[in-house]
Amino acid sequence: MMRFTVLGSGTSTGVPTVACECPTCTSSDSRDKRLRTSLLVQQATQTVLIDTSSDFRQQMLNNNVLEIDAVIYTHHHFDHIGGFDDLRPYAFRSGRPVELFAMSETSSVLRSTFPYAFGLVESTGASVPSVTLHEIDSEPFIAGGLQVTPIPMRHGRQLRVNGYRFGSVAYCTDTNHIPEASLELLQGLDVLIIDGLRWEPHPTHFTIPESLALIELIRPKQAYLTHIAHQVLHARDSLLLPPNVALAYDGLVIESD
């Protein structure tokens, strides 16, 4: 049995968004409180994290995550890497480096953003994240003992990002285009978690109507929209979705064989 926990279902600003008094940002519904996008994947004693979001520390505390075997990065935007430094306690606890898996460009940005963790600047004697960085591309790989299939996608006009498939569950955030070859990798899913930013057009993310059209094409048994902006009010907009599609929310747990 695999267990998937949505640690954060929000866009890069999080929800509520600072300096905003819209209906979602002032909502008392806990499902409208969205940390930055991230997913936890667990099987038996294995724990794999997708992205160290800007809210990583709070997400780990909220979900009492005591061990991390591996972190897999979708891409290098700061809302997906910003919590990197808070990996330090996991290496302290386990006594070994945390295994990281990232594409080449993401690896380069991690090194340039956090050079002290990779021996690229002189040590000050302070503690640093202890990590081992593995570069990946589009070939399947093993992370934390779990088989992972990358789903190559595009975020905006040019940025390559990866979605990931674990068994019959796939996670495809931060995208507005999934190539035909990648659509083939998404066949036969029980669950698809996919980018669905808002109803209105956006240059780098699927809108909810675009996601619904893609879900109809892929035909998973169940789909969840994530990376949700503050223009979406959970209770109101959930009523507008088909029966097999729902808005994700922080703390949502999905189990799959």
* Domains of the chain, start order: 2-252 (3.60.15.10)
- Supply the pTM of this predicted model: 0.97
Residue 123 pLDDT: 84
Q: What is the mean pLDDT of each run of 10 residues along the chain (257 residues)?
A: 98 98 98 98 97 98 98 98 98 96 98 96 90 98 98 97 98 98 98 98 98 98 98 98 98 96
Concatenating the DSSP letter of every residue in 91-129 gives HHHHSSPEEEEE-HHHHHHHHHHSGGGGT-S---SS---
Residue 155 pLDDT: 98
Per DSSP, the three-state class of 77 is: coil
Residue 125 pLDDT: 84
Residue 70 pLDDT: 98
